[in-house]
Amino acid sequence: MAAESALADGPLQFIKTCVRARKVLWTYQVTMRLKGRLISRQAVLESHASYEIVEAYPEDKYLPSYLVYSEWEGDIFHILFAADIEGDNVRIITAYRPDPDEWEEDFRTRRQSS
């Protein structure tokens, strides 16, 4: 996939395409934390149909990053993906269950701090 056209359909489509094709790199951090957070790799990979971008960080330090809402078997969690367009893959930086004190009821909107 050429870098220029990789995001032609948007970053969400790029992320979903990479996940479906298993073009996914797992950081050391996420590998170590998933087990403790009781989120399986299977849940992350098989929930791609429910992915929704909730926050975008296109100017992130190394690669454009996207915080994605996901659901799998009734479980809601967020996944932070870094999009490596030139490498034609995504990197999973972290995954966690959103804190109800920090997110609105839909877990798609961050609460405004007072």
Domains (range + CATH), the chain = 3-96 (3.30.2310)
First to last CA, the chain: 44
Q: What is the pLDDT of residues 52-62, one digit of tens each?
A: 999 999 899 89
The 8 Å CB, 24+ separation contacts for 94-102 are 94/27, 94/29, 94/30, 94/33, 95/30, 95/33, 95/34, 95/37, 95/39, 95/44, 96/33, 96/37, 96/39, 97/37, 97/39
pTM here?
A: 0.89
In the predicted structure, residue 1 carries a pLDDT above the cut 70: no
> Looking at this protein, which amino acid is placed at residue 85?
I
> Could you tell me the two tokens for 28?
């050391």
Q: What is the pLDDT of residues 29-46, one digit of tens each?
A: 888 889 889 999 999 999
